[in-house]
Amino acid sequence: MRISPASKRERSIIEKGVEQYGSGLKEVLRSRVLLVARNGRRMVSVASPELAGVLRQMKHEPYCAGLEIGELKRGGFKLGLEGAYLIAGRAEKYVKVNRKGEQLVLYGRDVFIGSVVEQGELSRGDPCLILNERGEALAVGRVDGGEVFVTNLRDRGMYLRKGE
């Protein structure tokens, strides 16, 4: 696997992907480096400049490096759960759910309007973060706006359900 800093084009795609959630990439990066691991898939990670320096000096290619925040896929950026966690406090497109809603989301269920205690600037079809009442990222979703207010796309409970 080849891990290298994101190209200008890749960085632009990642920036647009993060902006969909009403947050900027600068907040995520702060003094970190964007890395892309290429092995058929293009996984995006953030790492310290020191780690990036160590990677350049390594003779062998590592399997992974840094904190994986998402994936470059089909010309776009798919935000991962750790990336959602990094931008959770700054994102404008979010819903906060009550404790019952939190449990349901972690079991892979969608968000119904009765579980929502707070929401950001949302329109039908928007990608959004699903947060608990403490503002911690539980999942990434898409606003439906009907009876199912937000469709759960990826949630933290997936790790437990899949046994990974």
The per-residue pLDDT for range 52-105, each reduced to its tens digit, is 888 888 888 887 788 999 999 999 999 999 999 999 989 999 999 999 999 999
Q: Are residues 76 and 11 in the same domain?
A: yes
Q: Are residues 80 and 131 in the same domain?
A: no
**Domain region containing 19:** 2-87
Q: Are residues 107 and 69 in the same domain?
A: no
Q: Are residues 128 and 75 in the same domain?
A: no
Runs of H (alpha helix) within the chain: 8-19, 25-29, 49-57, 81-87, 99-106, 158-162
How far apart are alpha carbons 44 and 36 in whole angstroms? 5
Q: Are residues 41 and 100 in the same domain?
A: no
Residues β-bridged to residue 76:
73
Q: Are residues 12 and 82 in the same domain?
A: yes
The per-residue pLDDT for range 9-23, each reduced to its tens digit, is 999 999 999 999 999
Mean pLDDT, all residues of the chain: 91
Please count the structural domains in the chain.
2
CATH number of the CATH domain containing 6: 3.10.450.220
Burial grade of 18 (CB within 10 A; 0-12, 13-18, 19 or more): buried
Pairing status of strand 42-47 against strand 33-38:
antiparallel
Q: What was the pLDDT predicted at 102?
A: 96
Q: Are residues 98 and 78 in the same domain?
A: no
Domain C-terminal end among 87, 115, 143: 87
Q: Are residues 104 and 156 in the same domain?
A: yes
Domain C-terminal end among 55, 87, 119: 87
Q: What percent of the chain has pLDDT over 90?
A: 69
Report angle CA 14, 15, 19 to the nearest 5 degrees: 115
The amino acid at residue 64 is C
Q: What was the pLDDT predicted at 144?
A: 94
Domain C-terminal end among 54, 87, 120: 87
Residue 164 has pLDDT above 70, yes or no: no
Q: Are residues 66 and 98 in the same domain?
A: no
